[in-house]
Structure 1
Amino acid sequence: MRWIVFVLLCFSRFGLAQDSIQSTLIKSDQFKVDQIVSIDNFNTLYYTSDNLSFNKKSDTQTVDYSNIQLGRITSADAFNTLKINLFYKDFNTVIILDNRLAEVFKIDFNITQPYKNVSLVSTGYDNTIWIFNQDLQQLELYDYKANITRVSSLPIQDNILAIESDYNYCWLLTDKHLYVYNYFGSLITKYENQGYTNLRIDSGNIFLQRENHLYILPKNSDDIKPVKLPELLISQFLVTNETLYIYDDEMLHQFQLKID
């Protein structure tokens, strides 16, 4: 019976395809950080250390930002390096930084009207960020300069795991589904979650993590393919222009992917 259920799952709309995505190890470097946030096309590395400071490291210099009053950084998003957002969940606050890591805007959701209890934050277009309103159980596109919610989703009762976005779409992973929204707040599609706990987006391709394995849902496809990797611990991962970075708490491994 269990075997039959497994076969049916493999042929579901969010099913696992048989062929795999090949990867080639480029290099592995010793590295010690808390969160690896992003690596851009110029190999500039964005990360947090001790969960208290946000750092930008290039070949020539390293700059950092910290806010002692707000304490630990819950998450950071550097998709738009001109408007980097840092989320301090304990204080229900978001800080917007420019590309020099200078503070340009502070969003204190404790004093906004109406009050918002935020649990997840991600980049939007213009002066917006995607937030998940914990009290309303809604995904919202929030304009922080105008202090208005431009769009909001219907309530989502699932347990929220992760959020990713670009200028056009927002991907919300829950314990039950993967939801895909456009910048109008319309639900484009949703997939059943089969044990995935994290995701990353690269050029419309969706990368998903399940334990120490990675999978890809290619753009314009409904078939998930496993990414062929050596055995290693995946504490964090990110993808930039088909280059996969895996952090195992001690080493940062860089792989080149071959996506058809």
Structure 2
Amino acid sequence: MKFKFTVLFLSLTFSILSQEKIKTTFIDSLVLENKTVYEINEHNIYYSVNNVFYKKTKDKEFNYTNITLGNLTTVDLYNPLQTVLFYKDFNTVILLDNQLNENHKIEGNKLENIVAFSCIGLAIQNQIWFYDSLSQKIGLYNFKTDTYKFISTPLTSKITLHTTDYNYFYWIDEENICYTISIFGKIKTIGKLPVYDTIQILNEENYVIKKEKQLYLFKKKENKLFEISISKNSFDKFYYKNGILSIFTADKVINYKILLP
């Protein structure tokens, strides 16, 4: 199968619009207490402590643990009704319902042809995005039929960061170039991104970037960086979803309401 690569040749000079800062509004903060927090929204908090995954609502707390699978590597909360946990040590993907009951277990080492799962994310139509580090191909696993298919040829550069939504798998390579592939296997080169310390891909057009002690929104089409105003100058990481920007410091998480242009 052959794929057509579309390359967007854009200027590699990025400008910062200091006069057009993006304002934020403080919502609340939460003491972490040794928690690894994955997401906070208006209704729920998702976190882990000592390798146990928790969902805390206003009224209840649910948890999932599986000591046989080693350390929890990544959590995908794109759809809160279908949480995806990845345990890299045992090459296993777990799907949970909204009360953290296990409803699917995918073991890469037990497939007829072993798949070394990596870069896991939820896709459309009962499927899971994955990157197989053995074949170096991107694929889709159908957890209803327990079948999978590869939709790309082997990648020629290493994936340094990825994100997914229902229809697309995005990744950044070692040359700081961003790509996307659709569920139909069409690969597109988005182009070169600014230098960053940390980055979150929101979609093909928008990226939240941490550079030194500052956050920016990078709009790829405009090729511009917009500074995001936050009160904290020192923080470990950040996460944006549905208008909420979470800033993680050493001992707490601070939530802001933010409207991106």
- Report 1:92-171 matches (<5 A): 92-171=91-170
Shift of 1:125: 1.2
Structure 1 residues 139 and 203, CA gap change in structure 2 (3 angstroms): closer
d(CA) in 1 for partners of 2:34, 2:126: 29
3-state DSSP of counterpart to 2:109: coil
3-state DSSP of counterpart to 1:110: helix
**225-234 or 105-114, larger mean C-alpha shift:** 225-234
Structure 1 residues 243 and 117, CA gap change in structure 2 (3 angstroms): same
Name 1:37's counterpart in structure 2: 38
d(CA) in 1 for partners of 2:35, 2:159: 22
d(CA) in 2 for partners of 1:212, 1:185: 38
2:174 pairs with 1:175 = yes
Name 2:84's counterpart in structure 1: 85
* Number of equivalenced pairs: 248
Shift of 1:255: 1.4
**201-210 or 88-97, larger mean C-alpha shift:** 201-210
d(CA) in 1 for partners of 2:126, 2:93: 13
Shift of 1:181: 2.3
Shift of 1:185: 2.6
2:220 pairs with 1:229 = no
- Report 1:44-63 matches (<5 A): 44-50=44-50, 52-63=51-62
d(CA) in 2 for partners of 1:20, 1:131: 37
Name 2:67's counterpart in structure 1: 68
Shift of 1:79: 1.0
Cα deviation digits, residues 190-246 of structure 1 (max 9, x gap): 222433343142797432334443332348654343323334333232212221011
Structure 1 residues 209 and 142, CA gap change in structure 2 (3 angstroms): farther
Q: 1:93 is matched by which residue type in structure 2?
A: T
d(CA) in 2 for partners of 1:195, 1:219: 13
TM-score by length of structure 2 reads 0.83
Q: 1:189 is matched by which residue type in structure 2?
A: T
Q: Is the 8 A contact 2:76 2:84 kept in 1?
A: yes
Name 1:5's counterpart in structure 2: none
2:225 pairs with 1:258 = no
d(CA) in 1 for partners of 2:223, 2:44: 33
Name 1:187's counterpart in structure 2: 187
Shift of 1:118: 1.8
d(CA) in 1 for partners of 2:13, 2:76: 27
Shift of 1:127: 1.5
Q: Which runs of 5+ in 2 are unaligned?
A: 1-9
Name 1:26's counterpart in structure 2: 27
Q: 1:208 is matched by which residue type in structure 2?
A: I
- How much identity, in percent, do the aligned residues show? 27
**198-207 or 226-235, larger mean C-alpha shift:** 198-207
Shift of 1:83: 1.4
Structure 1 residues 203 and 175, CA gap change in structure 2 (3 angstroms): closer
TM-score by length of structure 1 reads 0.83
Q: Is the 8 A contact 1:202 1:239 kept in 2?
A: no
3-state DSSP of counterpart to 1:232: coil
